Amino acid sequence: MATPDLIYLTIDDGSSTKREETIRVSAEMQLEEVRSAFYAAANLSSSSTNSVLKLYRKDGVLLPIGPNTPRNSKEDRYILKSRTGNEGVDALNAVSDLLGQITAIKEKVDAMKRSISEVPDGHGAKHNPDELTPPNLLARRRPTLPSLPPQRTFTRDVTEHLKHPTFDVWQWQDDEMVDLLAHMFTELGLMTEFKLDEETLRRFLQCVKGSYNTNPFHNFRHCFCVAQMMYGILHVTNLHAQLQPLEKLVLLISCIGHDLDHPGFNNAYQVNASTELGLIYNDISPLENHHAAVLFTILKESDTNILRSLPANDYREARKQIIACVLATDMAKHGELMGRFKAGAEREGGYDMTDPAARSLLLQMVIKCADISNEVRPKHVSEPWVDNLLEEFFAQSDREKAEGLPFAPFMDRQKVTKASAQVGFIQFVLIPLFELVAKVLPNMEEPIIQPIRSALQYYKTLA
């Protein structure tokens, strides 16, 4: 069992020998105090400017270093990789890239194993997974689910805090996040409204969890973050009282499935490298189209189809709206969506909630906000996400350079710092987006927009 406040480590400093360390970390400690403890465990000075520490689970998932780093046990030690100097940084990045390649190879092997057997399509007929469209890409969506883990219950304090943007997403293990997502379905009244079967819902969520890859950023915890922030926005602004049950169902499912099977490389890479996804979707939002396709492939299976009780008309409407919401998370559509929403937000007489198209656009704006909302959260929760995103960006630009492809300056490890990346993003993307949505939704200033402005000042100071 994990011991409160104790974190068990295996130190990997690049030498042939590994050693074990145990450190004590409490939630009351400051971020720098915790980092000092990790540096001390690695026999490094926290003031060193050319030292790099990365904390990994055994399965290769990158973890945040901070007061709320998940506690573990002696049997499940984390790997703390430490390197110094430029060569050390390059070596650590090489290790991370190699780990990602090994994970990708394992996933492909698993997919080939699953493709040997026929897969039911949810309507009694059977076909070979190689005949699925897109070819070979959706066969990975069925992780083995031998049995459901015991369902967890949560205190009232937890379920109430879940409704707020300050909820600490780093405190929870994957299966706990599954049950917190299930709670959202119950609290929003969706279980009774749509006659959702509890076991089917939990199998759906477990299958979703298994269909997210172990990327530094675009992983299942990010999926949970987006769903939780959407849920928080609904309650902070009281939007949940204005939405129809089907709209709430659409929003929650869209958030849960919005990055399914994300490969860790963005649309620009898919297009420039002529990947299978880029070719299948003709360079048009290849990732978002793939996420939606994987989501509905999961929903097609009888044991994970939480939409099976919907009348045909409701299902068609839900599917149309879910696809629109997932596609709206493509930042290439950001300017277009902002322009359309601005016209509605500044309409004489106010935003027209009687117009189905306007309501659909509002759902898309809410998921857009939730998708890039980490800076709304307290700094100790939000800052590790910046590290994880840069880790993913740098790995992509490294590959693009190696393959002779164009690469974005904001992904170049030689040019980008955490502070410079965040100042521009917060100032020119986050604040305009949230301020525009606040023209339609009430009560966003103090709980949502003020934390973003504080984050901007923090990163300006850091710069």
Domain spans, the chain: 6-107, 121-462
pLDDT of residue 185: 98
Give the catalytic positions in this structure.
Answer: 218
Has residue 290 got a pLDDT over 80? Answer: yes
pLDDT of residue 119: 36
pLDDT of residue 2: 57
Which structure tokens are listed for 89? 């940084």
pLDDT of residue 241: 97
CATH of domain 121-462: 1.10.1300.10
Give the residue-averaged pLDDT of 334-351: 97
CB 34 within 8 A of CB 27: no
CB 372 within 8 A of CB 365: no
| Three-state SS annotation for 412-455 | CCCCCCHHHHHHHHHHHHHHHHHHHHCCCCCCCHHHHHHHHHHH
Residue 462's identity, in one-letter code, is L
Q: CA–CA separation, 135 vs 189, rounded Å?
A: 37
Q: CA–CA separation, 221 vs 218, rounded Å?
A: 8
pLDDT of residue 126: 33
Which structure tokens are listed for 193? 């409204």
Least confident of 46-50, 74-78, 115-119, 312-316: 115-119
| Burial environment of residue 306 by CB neighbours within 10 A (0 to 12, 13 to 18, 19 or more) | buried
pLDDT 10s digits, 168-193: 999 999 999 999 999 999 999 999 99
Say which residues have a Cβ less than 8 Å from residue 8's Cβ, sequence separation at least 6.
20, 21, 22, 72, 73, 74, 76, 77, 78
User: Strand pairing partners for 170?
Assistant: none
Sheet of strand 78-84: strand arrangement: 19-24, 6-12, 78-84, 51-56, 62-63
Least confident of 40-44, 49-53, 59-63, 348-352: 49-53
Q: CA–CA separation, 234 vs 237, rounded Å?
A: 6
Least confident of 5-9, 27-31, 395-399: 27-31
Instruction: Give, in words, the CATH class of 6-107.
Output: alpha beta
Residue 230's identity, in one-letter code, is M
Which structure tokens are listed for 61? 């998932």
